[in-house]
Chain A
Amino acid sequence: MKNGMPEPLGFTLPRAIFFAIFVIFVIVAPTFLYPIFLMKIYCFIIFALGYNLLLGYTGLMSFGHAAFFGMGGYLCGHAATDWGLPFELAVLTGTIFSTALGYLFAKIAIRRTGIYFAMITLALAQMVYFICLQAPFTGGEDGIQAVPRGSILGLIDLRNDTALYWTMAVIVLAMIMLVNRIVHSPFGQVLRAIRNNPVRAKSLGFDVDRFKVVSFALSAGVAGFAGALKTVIFGIATLTDVSTVTSTEVVLINLVGGIGTIFGPVVGSFVILSLEHFLAPYGPWVLFIQGIVFMVFVLVFRQGIVGGLQKVLRKQL
């Protein structure tokens, strides 16, 4: 609330303009881009938003977020296929499970900081990967196949790609608003205080560990939600989503977009997934170019695209 300007839902004017631009993009995009591809990007935007909550705003680096993304997908797929739950409940199952898993991870991992924290999350995620490879309900390397899409409350039939697209569009926009609200709330301020100086936050009387755990669980829950939605869109839940490749991808998305910015995950997801999508015919070049992109951003452009823009405009995005 600097300068006494009102910030409805945590939106300052620049952020509101950015959001409006994205809304327009979401509306016109399906006319020139393939809707399924866009929906996949939206899933990764949600995933990256959740991750950014942890890395960008709490200052905790997790290398194991694929565990939440993947498990959200598996649980959603299992709930929809084997338990016959409808769309909403299946997605909810995945989200709740991932939140709980995140809480558990956080309880163990926050005992250490920095590189040790990252390594613990990586190790736990590898354990989850192993469980997914072996547990009977995940279908091993074949994954869960033919997950029904279902409908929203029996009203909107999601088997129709157009209906699913608009559902996803609303969800991704709502998630951006939600994360923006969380970040620019008193709770979000405490998180940023912890990121900037945990010792000072503690001396001010905040229970740092508790805030970290809540932030981690929240972040995991958002990741699980994204994973569950991805399962609904593609009708599959597979090992890719719990693998370290996915964990690194979400770090890369945030790095390219801009860590600690609301719109970084949005821009980053578009860049990284477009590379993967449009370079698919060129085989090995995808990985090669992703590597180059990573290096360029780490070496010369560490604030990422939105972070750089923020510096030029001198506004918080």
Chain B
Amino acid sequence: MRQTLLAAGAVLLFAAAPAMSEIKIGYLADLSGATSVLTGESGLRAVEMAIADAGGMINGEEIDLLTADHLGKPDVGLGVAREWLDTESVNLILNADHSAVALAISELIADKDVIFLANAVSSRMTNESCKPNQLAMLMDSYGLARGITKPLVEAGRDSWFFIEVDYAFGHDLGSTGAAAVEEAGGNVVGSVRHSPQTTDFSSFLLEAQSRGAQTIGLATFGSYQIAIAKQAQEFGLDIPLAPFFLGITDIKAAGLENVQNISGAIQFYWDYNDETRAFAKRFQEVYDRPPTFTNAMLYEFTRHYLKAIATVGSTDASDVRAWMGENPVALIDGSTATIREDGRVLRPMYAYTTKTPDESTGDWDYLTISGSLEPELTALPLDQSKCALVQ
């Protein structure tokens, strides 16, 4: 009797031991709405590439990839994530490329055994709303605002005018950008807010001109940037624009002739060096265009995560998170990034100028990279952070 009990105890112990169970990755993204062009399905392909590169399994355990569309609705995204945690016990949640969705999931995962990569531009992800197992690789509004303004001010373009989209994201981007301009010795001659319904930006452009701005900062995104760029072109406005959130897909949509000679900073460009070109070539075998910066990040992050669980030998979120922070993240371009305690991945940004249609050799050949920006320039200094993990 006693022996049976002991045996039963041993079996129970064995079952409870933290053996590596199936590895589950949940990819939650906007697959149908505004940001689906930039990330969506192409991001999923990048994650699949990272999994395939790891051989589809880690330490003999299959990697299972789940996918869902949050439809831009926080309750849908939160519902899916919650169900993944409760019934599938996912180990990693990727993307959530929508601020409200990401913030909602952030609260959900606070005490759960899961790693969460939040690809939202809200600076709250690594600031007020930071969590021990939550990471952010995408440049947040703080980094974008500074990474784009400071180098240009230092290059001598010191009077700025901002056009902001009239909600929290735009206000944040505009005010951080203005502060960075002033910090670098430039001055802000004015700013306007456009409502999300605006389609005619001509009065804003004229106002910028009459105030003698040398650069117009576009603290807005997507179709608004494109509309502003096109209208500036139609007016023959000779003030250079500085968009904060321009991806190669936006340039493709706008047409290069409408956005030529624009300077800014980007987090990844496929035609940067041999490594990135090789990656882009492989990527184009599974998707019909070169990778965008979000695609590249998803690949790099997933690869780093898989390396972490392979080395740690378990999917325990806090152990894996610790390993990920202690070891450098290998980036596609051959350089490395590090992860701070607040969850921010410190990676360089590239300063770029868009080509003219004559310089471009064809589709997707859009940027001339002129240098890179140190991550310290774009990350919020920890002593200004409101993140509870670094207090």
Contacts and interface: CB of A to CB of B under 8 A. Distances in A.
Given A141-B168, A142-B124, A280-B76, A234 B86 contact: no
Interface string A135-149: 000011111011000
B41 interface: yes
Interface residues of B, number: 37
A135 to B, nearest CB: 11
Contacts of A281: 66-69
Given A276-B76, A280-B68, A284-B31, A235 B169 contact: no
A238 interface: yes
A235 B71 contact: no
B172 to A, nearest CB: 10
A49 to B, nearest CB: 19
A239 B100 contact: yes
A14 B41 CA distance: 48
Contacts of B32: 283-284, 286-287
A141 B41 contact: no
Contacts, number: 97
Interface in A161-217: none
A36 B86 CA distance: 10
A133 interface: yes
B100 A142 contact: yes
B66, B74, B122, B168: which has the most chain A beta carbons within 10 Å? B74
For the residues of A in contact with B, the DSSP-based class is: helix
For the residues of B in contact with A, the DSSP-based class is: helix
B79 A277 contact: yes
Given A140-B167, A283-B32, A145 B79 contact: no
Given A142-B168, A282-B69, A34 B31 contact: no
B187 to A, nearest CB: 28
B73 A240 contact: yes
Contacts of A277: 76, 79
Interface in B39-97: 40-41, 66-76, 78-80, 82-83, 86-87
Nearest to B32: A284
Contact of A40 (B40, B79, B86, B168): B79
Interface of B: 31-32, 36, 40-41, 66-76, 78-80, 82-83, 86-87, 99-100, 103-104, 106-107, 122, 124, 129, 166-169, 196
Given A143-B74, A238-B74, A280-B69, 10 more contacts: A34-B87, A133-B167, A133-B196, A142-B122, A146-B107, A238-B73, A240-B73, A277-B76, A284-B69, A286-B32
